[in-house]
Amino acid sequence: MPSHFETHLTASAEDPYLWLEDVEGTESLNWVRTRNADTEARLAQSDSFKQTASELLAVLDSDVKIPYVQKIGAYYYNFWTDAAHQRGLWRRTTLDEFRQPEPAWETVLDIDALNSAEEENWVWGGADCLPPDYRRGLITLSRGGADAHVVREFDLIDKQWVKNGFQLPESKGGTNWIDMNTLYVFTDFGEGSLTRSGYPRIVKQWARGTPLSAASLVYEGTPDDQYVYAAHDHTPGYERDFVSRALAFYSDELYLRSKDGTLTKIDAPDSANKSVHKEWLLLELRDDWDLGTVYASGSLLAIRLDDFLVGQRHFEILFTPTNSTSLVDSTWTRNHLILNVLNDVKNSLSVLTPSKNGFKHSGFDGVPGVGSVDVYAVDPDESDAVWLTTTDFLTPTSLSLAQIGQPPHVLKTMPTFFDSSTMLAEQHFATSADGTRVPYFLVRPRDLKPNGSTPTLLYGYGGFEVSLTPYYSGGLGRAWLSKGGVYVVANIRGGGEYGPLWHQAALKENRPLAYEDFAAVAQDLINRGITSPQHLGVQGGSNGGLLTGNMLTQYPQLFGAVVVQVPLLDMKRYNHLLAGASWMAEYGDPDQPHEWAYIQKFSPYHLFDSAKAYPPVLFLTSTRDDRVHPGHARKMAAKMIEAGKHVTYYENIEGGHGGAATNAQSANMDALVYQFLWEQLKKN
């Protein structure tokens, strides 16, 4: 655990369950094991559970899933898990091979074999490979899927660890290549080197062959910052260095670092997303910016970096939002910039091409008009090729390769995991308490009878500017839709579906608006006869767990079952637990009395009333979650159990914030959810 975490926790009059915050304490783990055993005995022994878990695992372990790739040098790398490789293979192939129905793969690193050799439980975290020859990579591995990880240097040609190479001890920090013999390193350097959130606040430059303690200081932030890091831009002809100081989510300072270590600030608003590509600086605004001309929140601006640094502010506006549109992402290829835009939560792509007379706009041919679309460059330094991923609730995901100006060519398609021919996907809008129009997606049987009797699962998130768009899930299809269930995804405020303003509308004291939106969607489903409270379940994780925790405590009359995963629930102490301090820009600071006055109105742990009736609830978390503390779920479950409420609890011992570290663990956790929901929502 981070050095600042509190240990030897005991019960108090204010919080009698404080002892459950001792993550690996004997007493608290005994409590967890008892709850887990009860849950497994009640939910995991039936034939229906075993069948569901088997069906889910078959999807996750399928050897015909899409092998998504990343171009690294001449090869295309993929990380792959299946039944025989639970921890996974890092492997590579050529583009010609990847085009084949069954490519020939070369294994580069076998994580299962590594775990066996080292008697560890490593989970793959990724690789940062050094251009231009891409022989050396910095491999990230975590124990049990935690955010904290180690970094080791690996030789991609010899396919072995570099003897006496760079190695970084376990922390939530990281590294970035400067050159073959030099790294930027941002990590736990000892007492006082971390932010209150447990992330690095110090960046150093580290030379090969020297101890980490000898690394030289590059930049030092403050304990109240969120995260500090540095990176080297290896783009040929545009090599340069940056230091980033994250003040909070969606607020940061970006600096250019000269060879003598001097820092020059990119003097744009802290709330703007700043990105540099070759000669261009792009600014994606989250607030209006008044420079005589007012640039609207949600706009994307472009200017040459050299011009900006000498004080010019003549921006070209590449995107301006409307009431229904927002910018999802922008992606550079060698000669173009591709914009991915949502219009009422539906994707569209456009191509922008820099010229002497500004950016020229054109369409992107061949993109489906329905479902979700993601686009990313194959190699922005060398080509105009892009990968396109298209998906929707009822159509298996496909991966295409496209050259700008040419129709996409489908290379891989996910198998059909369930029969969707009898199903229909629709978009509807509910009206929230303040009159706001809230979109949601509905997946239902075509012949649904609107008599309120259909088991329905409502999912949401509503935070951190995260947008929820349609996606194909073989597991959801097999375990829920194919059995006659309805599935709903709500696009509530706090998300990013309508840009920064949609997110900002539910910050801090306005957080309850997100919950009002979600309740409005639930009520709309009931009013339209899709379902009824006794047949309506709700599910959410992390910030979405806070959402469903508030549905449980504030709107219990609307639901027949509630699933709360890796949640925040104790909003009085959240900022003192693990990474919680980094989320105060989202929720507020409960240590300030005037802010706690509104935070306590959406703190489920404090809203719980033992005298009230609540629907059955399932809490899921992970012991190895070092982002959102498992104490949130533990304490809420304990409080409700003591009050005699219908509580089911399960804590995976590893898995990190994702809740599971292997396909088998994921299948088991998901099967628990579906078994619980079917048992509760099919009653009556």
Query: Cis (ω within 30 of 0) for the bond into 132?
Result: yes
β-partners of residue 281 are 276, 303
Exposure of 449 in the CB half-sphere (CA atoms within 13 A): 2
Clarify whether 646 is annotated catalytic.
no
DSSP 350-417: EEEE--TTSPEEEE-TT--SSSEEEEEES-TTT--EEEEEEE-SSS--EEEEEETTS--EEEEE----
Q: If DSSP codes are grouped into helix, strand and coil, which group holds residue 483?
A: helix
Report which of 212, 209, 204, 208 is spatially closest to residue 179, judged by C-alpha positions. 208
Rg, the chain, Cα only: 25
Report which of 342, 397, 403, 359 is spatially closest to residue 377, judged by C-alpha positions. 403
Spatial distance between the Cα atoms of 602 and 515, rounded to a whole number of angstroms: 9
Spatial distance between the Cα atoms of 503 and 595, rounded to a whole number of angstroms: 19
Exposure of 655 in the CB half-sphere (CA atoms within 13 A): 25
* 546 close to 604: Cβ distance less than 8 angstroms: yes
344-373 burial: b if 16+ Cβ within 10 Å, else e: ebbbbbbbbbbeeeebeeeebeebbeebbb
* 359 close to 332: Cβ distance less than 8 angstroms: no
**Catalytic pick from 85, 336, 629, 657?**
657
**Strands, E assignment, 286-332:** 289-291, 293-295, 300-304, 316-319, 325-332
Clarify whether 657 is annotated catalytic.
yes
Spatial distance between the Cα atoms of 234 and 33, rounded to a whole number of angstroms: 49
**Catalytic pick from 142, 297, 330, 542?**
542
Spatial distance between the Cα atoms of 399 and 409, rounded to a whole number of angstroms: 9
Q: Which helix (H) or strand (E) holds 437?
A: strand 437-445
For the beta sheet containing 106-110, the strands, ordered from the edge strand earlier in sequence to the opposite edge, are: 70-72, 75-82, 85-93, 106-110
* 497 close to 467: Cβ distance less than 8 angstroms: yes
Q: If DSSP codes are grouped into helix, strand and coil, which group holds residue 69?
A: coil
Instruction: Tokens for 362, please give them.
Output: 């054109």
Query: What phi and psi, each to the nearest 5 degrees, are found at residue 258?
Result: -80, 170
β-partners of residue 82 are 85
Work out the widest C-alpha separation in the chain, in whole angstroms.
Answer: 73
Q: Which helix (H) or strand (E) holds 475?
A: helix 474-479
Report which of 388, 454, 390 is spatially closest to residue 423, judged by C-alpha positions. 454
Spatial distance between the Cα atoms of 193 and 204, rounded to a whole number of angstroms: 11
Q: If DSSP codes are grouped into helix, strand and coil, which group holds residue 264?
A: strand
Question: Which residues are designated catalytic?
Answer: 542, 657
